[in-house]
Chain A
Amino acid sequence: MTGHSVLDTDILVIGSGPGGSVAATKFAEAGRSVLMVEEGEHLPLDATPHFSCEEMLHKYRSAGVGVALGKRKLAWVEGSCVGGGSEVNRGLYHRTPPYVLERWARDYGVVDLSPGEMTQHFEACEAVATVQHMPGKPSESSQALERGATKKGWTAIAAPRLYRYDTADGRGSKQSMSATFVPRFKELGGNLLADVRIQRLRRTNRTWEASGVRTSGAQKTQITIRADTVFVACGAVQTPALLRRSGIRHNVGNSLRFHPMLKIIAEFDHEVNAPGDFDPVHQIKEFEPRFGMGCSIAKPPLLAMLQAARPGNWTSIERDWRRMGIYYVQTSGGRATVRNLPGFASPLVRIHFTPEELSTLADGLRHLADVLLAAGSVRLRPCIAGYPDLDRQTGLAGLPEALEAPDGSLTSVHVFSSCPMGEDRARTATDSFGKVHGTDGLYICDASLLCTPTIANPQGTVMAVAHRNALVALDRKFG
């Protein structure tokens, strides 16, 4: 470690994902001095191919290795670069389902959060980060899921994406934070520092001091940032870890939630998966909020990884990958805690599932298999070691009533709820607008605030809640 730099700013935003970028931009628009720091690298959106090794190493936290420990482990991934998760996700977009907002108001005492009140915030974010439906036909793998749902009489939709389709052939540009809010923030005079990890917050003489490390190549420099107001937006795992390291623990890191996901590789008798296909967009909504279903990108490396160690994998994928699609079912089960370990930088996450939650996952898997067979799949490969292949002859026989998943079967790409907001202090870490209980000038503005899983893709909710909370903080002069 060489050197020590000290910076001053009115407002410090820690984290540049959808929550941090939206809030920082609102503060810059209001003419405030804002510094946004990001632990990860600042890379162009197209710096690495999507779902590649390079992307995993440079844009994901911990190279994509996140494991919640417990009797049933869960592996999750998070973005860690300027733009956060918006850089690596598929940008599928939903406004928060009204029943989710109503539940947060009812169970956590969140005020001013009705669907009507949130509309202006969704619209404001969508004016900067464009949300559009694909103009042409989605991939065949996506359409197959829709056909299966139609045969079963289930509700399915083609989800819009944070994407701007520019031309008649459907090409265009992804509307990640690095392509939308971050440039706007900088144009407005906001300052952005990448490669800065904040390790601790300290309150002295009515000022917050954020201390950490800045990395530049092999060189590491100590950094201290002094700010009147701090917004923590490090994501639902790192935000509680930072707050707990800083001695702030009330309802912090006790209620982390995921969208646990199981996958099936479905083989068809015709091509469903071709290089250059549009991202799949269909989702089955029939059974939400219990579980939802959808279709993933199915490049050969992902197909192979999901069935690693399966005999004959190479030959099978080489011969058949264009006839294979990856489909998922996701629930909202499992509750986890985030704790720091003495001597280690990374927090420990522990998760627990109830028997009912494991049954719901198993039921969801059966429904997913059912709809894929209805869609015309000739063979299903559940991505759970020890589970049998299924086809029209076997039907769903062989799928257990409760999930019996070994390590690596349960995954998630959505994390939230580790520091819920609301007026019920017994259940929440912040007030209804992200101000941390019992502190001055300290706010949370990321997915940690969402009281429960959103059921739908959460990025739209994170952005709109950050927009709402930033406006309230400005209106209240951060008091």
Chain B
Amino acid sequence: MARMVETTVIALVDSLIDEAGIPATAAQRAHAAGYVLETIARMPDHFGLGFRALALLFSWSSVARYGRRFHLLANDQRHEQLRAWRGSGLSFRRSMLAFYDAFATFGVYSAAYRDTDTPRP
């Protein structure tokens, strides 16, 4: 179960980075995915439980349409599913993607802009 969540989150973060057109390196993508996974591990436990359940739902929801779980989809199919969840009438779907958008973005930009972390005054 934990491995399934991890696989889904890594694929989701990767797809969000692609969708945003960020020319991230493999190391930067790995940093972002690792950061998001660690955040889920440390978030309040009741949210964490919900996020793990949502990750599984997200992963399996592509089976009905494409016959495969999210991490096995082609890029355009992944982006289609992201658009569907982002525009969904169900607020939990939009909220989930808003979370991943924010934290994946912070993670990948933090890796890409590490050199701007000059000593603070």
Contacts and interface: CB of A to CB of B under 8 A. Distances in A.
B47 to A, nearest CB: 7
Interface residue SS majority, chain B: helix
B39 A279 contact: no
Contacts, number: 111
What are the 6 A-B residue pairs with the smallest beta carbon separation, nearest first? A346-B44, A301-B109, A63-B42, A65-B43, A308-B105, A308-B101
Contact of B116 (A171, A278, A299): A299
A344 B94 CA distance: 25
Given A52-B117, A278-B121, A304 B44 contact: no
Contacts of B107: 53
B109 A348 contact: no
Contacts of A314: 20-23
Interface in B17-44: 20-23, 31, 35, 38-39, 41-44
Given A276-B119, A305-B105, A407 B39 contact: no
Given A57-B39, A63-B38, 15 more contacts: A50-B120, A53-B106, A53-B110, A57-B42, A62-B43, A67-B44, A299-B113, A301-B109, A304-B106, A304-B109, A313-B20, A314-B23, A346-B47, A348-B46, A407-B95
Given A275-B116, A314-B21, A408-B98, A65 B44 contact: yes
A302 B103 CA distance: 10
Given A300-B109, A301-B113, A406 B98 contact: yes
Interface string A265-283: 0000000000111110000
B120 A279 contact: yes
B35 to A, nearest CB: 5
Interface in A361-398: 385
A67 B44 CA distance: 9
Interface in A282-336: 299-302, 304-305, 308-309, 312-315, 317
Interface in B80-103: 86, 91, 94-95, 97-99, 101-103
A345 B42 CA distance: 12
A66 interface: yes
Most interface-central of A275, A304, A312 (chain B CB within 10 A): A304
B116 A65 contact: no
Contacts of A276: 118-119, 121
B47 A65 contact: yes
Nearest to B86: A309
B90 to A, nearest CB: 13
A407 B98 contact: yes
B45 interface: yes
